[in-house]
Chains A and B, each alone.
Chain A
Amino acid sequence: MTDEEKPGKLPAIKIWLDTSRHTKNLELHIKGSSVKLLADDYFLRQKRISQQRNRVKKTQTKKRTTEQPATLNDSIAIEAPAVISLHTREYHTQLVRFLSTVRKESLRRKSIRINFNNTSKVIGTGMLLMLAEIDRICLTLAEKCKVTCSYPKDETVEKVFQQIGFFNILGKPHRLEINKEDITVNSWRYASGVSVNPQDADILLKAIKGKIPKGYLRLVTGVSEAMDNAVHHAYIRPREDRISASGLDHANDKRWWVFAQVHDGRLVVIFCDLGVGIPVTLPERWGEYIGDILRLTTLSAGKRDMKMIRRSLELGRTRTDQGHRGKGLARNVMKAAEELHGRLFVYSNRGVVGVDFSDGSPSYTQGGNNHSILGTVIQWSVPITDAQELEDEHGQN
């Protein structure tokens, strides 16, 4: 056995050039096999071809750049999803893609027309996210891009747009009258602001306070807690979109949006901010991160966000390490939902976590989505029981 054939030892490589043939091509021999080296003129030819190809590309690009301003100055119509909601993965993806297109085009076009012809259903969480995004675009890019919309074919959707002030944001006149019969529409209240001052949500808070029994006042407090959270913790860094990077006024406002409704024996509050999201504001503990790796869970971005939301709902997990500051999402909203047998849904970036306390003990639903909402939407709903209402009436008497 020669040295070359011994196991565990790499064979020596023999290389020589065969220049014996009378051709322009060379042959490189590497231990038994030969590789043909092409003549110089082949490479020169290829180089010439590629140069010509590049030349064509350059001229094409030039042409396009001269055409761009003409096309981009035009308005564009963007079709809104049939269902504006975050509740299923499909609806979530459709809405997030739609909003991403609106954001992108608002920086390129002079006007955008949103087509709501096919929109037949709107669900609170998705609706608030859409309203927040479009409100932000209108506030930031008012001088650069005009956003308009068509009237939805569905009458209820149109009434919802009127009631929550969506048409006011877009400067669209109201056509329909909202009657007492429109009970699913006329009980919604909307507010928005950039401070922790509850007076910004005065109409909404007073509407809630007037309809909920005594002892439920902490639900009103929950709204101001959420405002506080949004202003102090949600906007610690600019949002990861082009509007934030544009440096325009209002692009990085610490704004929040809120819907509230007391209807059918239930109080529903939906709160939205377009900040960096809970998964970013909540520091990841190294131990947990390593634990995730050790469990060999190759977490997708959606699942990772979901886990972070879940952790934020645990008592004591906050962004600040100061013991007296920020008692976390758990202290503010989760506890109220737990005490009052309510339900809580948290959508933040790609993750979603739902907790239901209807039966006393918490039952969780959770998931991770492919696309990020680039913000946080929290919905909590609490039953206002007849017993409480009676108790309240007796108290007043």
Chain B
Amino acid sequence: MNMAKISISKDFSEYPAGRYRVDGKHSGEVFRDDLLIPTLEENDIVEINFDGSMGYGSSFLEEAFGGLVRLKKFSKETLHQKLRLTYKEDPFIIEEIWHYIDDAPIKS
């Protein structure tokens, strides 16, 4: 079983923000397409650590995680099996991320 770890502040940015690629190189879309999807495709378990950054806006989180389901990259069930999320600084955000995944509207 393959396992990978992503520390957002170290592997991506200390200042993740924005929704779309046009918002900047640390946006949710960039994180999802360039880092998260390849890691999820190559590994059975992906552990993501959110600590150390300057916080996460809802646009970033929804696009990065809700976007996985909305754009049919992964199913909700697959993500529940694969993702391990930790955030000591603000544990409520983890609930919010699962909310974005579970409530994501799927494009027909």
- Residues of A at the B interface (CB closer than 8 Å) are 195-199, 202, 205-206, 209, 214-215, 217-218, 220-221, 224-225, 227-228, 231-232, 323-327, 331-332
6 chain-A/chain-B pairs, Cβ below 8 angstroms: A197-B24, A224-B17, A225-B59, A228-B17, A228-B59, A324-B105
- How many angstroms from the CA of A231 to the CA of B27 in the assembled complex? 14
Which of B2-10, B40-48, B50-58 participates in binding chain A? B50-58
Out of A196, A205, A325, A327, which one reaches B18, CB within 8 Å?
A196
Q: By DSSP majority rule, is chain B's interface helix, strand, loop, or mixed? A: loop
B102 vs chain A, min Cβ distance (A): 13
Out of B19, B70, B93, B105, which one reaches A228, CB within 8 Å?
B19
B24 lies within 8 A of A195 (CB): yes
Q: By DSSP majority rule, is chain A's interface helix, strand, loop, or mixed? A: helix
A228 lies within 8 A of B18 (CB): yes
A220 lies within 8 A of B55 (CB): yes
B89 lies within 8 A of A214 (CB): yes
Q: Which of A195, A206, A214, A224 has its CB near the most chain B CB atoms (within 10 A)?
A: A224
Out of A196, A198, A331, which one reaches B54, CB within 8 Å?
A198
Out of B17, B58, B66, B104, which one reaches A331, CB within 8 Å?
B58
Interfacial chain B residues near A325, Cβ < 8 Å: 19, 59, 62
A-B contact count (CB 8 A): 73
Closest to A195 in B: B24
Interfacial chain B residues near A196, Cβ < 8 Å: 17-18, 23-24, 27, 59
Contact size class for B? 20 to 34
Interfacial chain B residues near A331, Cβ < 8 Å: 58
B55 lies within 8 A of A197 (CB): no
B52 vs chain A, min Cβ distance (A): 11
B15 lies within 8 A of A199 (CB): yes
Q: Which of A199, A221, A331 has its CB near the most chain B CB atoms (within 10 A)?
A: A221
B3-33, CB < 8 A from A: 15, 17-19, 23-24, 26-27
- Residues of B at the A interface (CB closer than 8 Å) are 15, 17-19, 23-24, 26-27, 54-59, 62, 66-67, 70, 89-90, 92-93, 100, 104-105
Closest to B55 in A: A221
Q: A196-B23, A197-B17, A228-B17 are in contact. Are A215 and B90 (CB under 8 A)?
A: yes
B90 lies within 8 A of A197 (CB): no
- How many angstroms from the CA of A325 to the CA of B89 in the assembled complex? 25
Interfacial chain B residues near A199, Cβ < 8 Å: 15
Out of A197, A217, A231, which one reaches B15, CB within 8 Å?
A197
A332 lies within 8 A of B58 (CB): yes
Q: Which of B23, B55, B100 has its CB near the most chain A CB atoms (within 10 A)?
A: B55
Closest to A226 in B: B57
Interfacial chain A residues near B27, Cβ < 8 Å: 196
Q: A196-B24, A215-B90 are in contact. Are A327 and B15 (CB under 8 A)?
A: no
Closest to B92 in A: A218
- How many angstroms from the CA of A325 to the CA of B15 in the assembled complex? 20
B90 lies within 8 A of A218 (CB): yes
- How many angstroms from the CA of A225 to the CA of B54 in the assembled complex? 12
B105 lies within 8 A of A224 (CB): no
- How many angstroms from the CA of A209 to the CA of B62 in the assembled complex? 23
Interfacial chain B residues near A232, Cβ < 8 Å: 19, 59
Interfacial chain A residues near B100, Cβ < 8 Å: 324
